[in-house]
Amino acid sequence: MKVGLIGAGRIGAFHARTLAGNPEVTSLRIADANLARAKSVAREVGAETALDADDLIRRSDALVIATATDTHADLIRLGADAKLPVFCEKPISLNLETTDRVLEHVDKAGIPLQIGFQRRFDRGYAEARRLVASGELGRVYAARLATHDPEPPPEQILKASGGLFRDLMVHDFDIIRWTTGQEVEEVHAVAGVLTDDRAFVRLDDVDTAVAILRLKDGALAVLSGLRHDPRGYDVRLELFGSKDSVVVGMDSRTPLRPLDDDREGTGQPAYRDFLERFGPAYREELHAFLLVARGETDSPCSGADARESLRVSLAAMVSLREKRPVALEEIR
């Protein structure tokens, strides 16, 4: 399979290494708005470069999009027009109107679309989903989720991110739906700027947030999103059921310091970032996409899935602005 990768930044370079090492990929071409960066990544992995997106698409059997958020919608449409299977990092768009137009375009073109929510391919989250689906956890009573960055992103990245709920916590909104098999019915969010980084104030964004979700069968979830965790990158899910309670993301590198015993800790360094924590999941995610592109399986994270997580994010934003719980049915 000839794969075209557009975007050679941090996540794009990681995907390039993954694709170059996958035996299903017979050739890899890379494009980026910064041609020098594309050439540098291509040299590193033994790939070729393309002059632009159109050139890349003409010579590819499948398209992987790892560019800035505001380019996703147009690039998905280009891939669909060329009848290429498309993988795109989240989100499709930051608003529902554009998202719906893109999904309609994809549906008319009849191409498979997979959106990048890598936690679905992490072993721990997959086991949590299995325990819920099998009934071994019993009825889910409650959940706790955390996504904490070690340091705030640069202001340039924040400016295009869509804010904390659509950029950071959208992963939690997706994974609670995926692991429990339940839709979110109501969101109540509170947030503020608690760090010394004034970029959040300038951008009308927040760096610290908590959201309470009510799921379809009444289960409750509490989520925390932090742009600054001095101990490292922390992503966890706790599920409490009528038969069992489990946690995902609690290991020797979890950046929490216990205070209730004499242990000094494991001595293991905390996770530095999302690539280190979810490296295997990212690789599994792209391998799954290659199977989707070959027609061997359906998309494991569809555009409709991405749309629903965006709806929850938008509900959280309305809740924060209006200081009230927001039902998902209000977000059309």
pLDDT for 307 equals 98
Residue 172: is its pLDDT beyond 70? yes
| pLDDT given at position 17 | 98
Q: List the one residue out of 271, 194, 287, 200 whose CA is nearest residue 232.
A: 271
Average pLDDT value for the chain: 96
pLDDT tens digits, one per residue of 127-152: 999 999 999 999 999 999 999 999 99
Token readout for 92 is: 């499709």
Determine the pLDDT at residue 217. 97
The order of strands in the sheet holding 234-241 is 245-248, 234-241, 140-148, 220-226, 208-215, 184-192, 326-327
Please report which helix (H) or strand (E) contains residue 282, including its range: helix 274-293
DSSP state of 332: -
**Mean pLDDT value across residues 297-318:** 98
Tell me the average pLDDT across 172-191: 98
Tens digit of pLDDT for each residue in 192-216? 999 999 999 999 999 999 999 999 9
- Alpha-carbon distance of 148 to 228, in angstroms, equals 7
The answer on pLDDT for 324 being more than 70 is: yes
259 vs 80, which has greater pLDDT?
80
Predicted confidence (pLDDT) per residue in 84-128, tens digit = 999 999 999 999 999 999 999 999 999 999 999 999 999 999 999
The DSSP-derived string for 157-196 is HHHHH--HHHHTTHHHHHHHHHHH---EEEEEEEEE--SS
pLDDT given at position 27:
97
pTM over 0.85: yes
Question: Which tens digits make up the pLDDT trace of 244-293?
Answer: 999 999 999 999 988 987 666 556 899 999 999 999 999 999 999 999 99
Q: Which residues have a Cβ under 8 Å from the Cβ of 9 and sit 6 or more positions away? A: 32, 37, 66, 67
Give the β-pairing of 27-31 and 48-49. Answer: parallel
Band (pLDDT 50/70/90 cuts) for residue 332 is confident
pLDDT on residue 199: 96
Report all structural domains of the chain as residue ranges with CATH numbers, in order of start. Answer: 2-111 (3.40.50.720), 120-274+308-330 (3.30.360.10)
Give the pLDDT of residue 260. Answer: 85
pLDDT at residue 31, rounded to an integer: 98
Q: Which residue in the block uniquely carries the two structure tokens 């003409």?
A: 58
Query: What are the tens digits of pLDDT across the range 31-58?
Result: 999 999 999 999 999 999 999 999 999 9
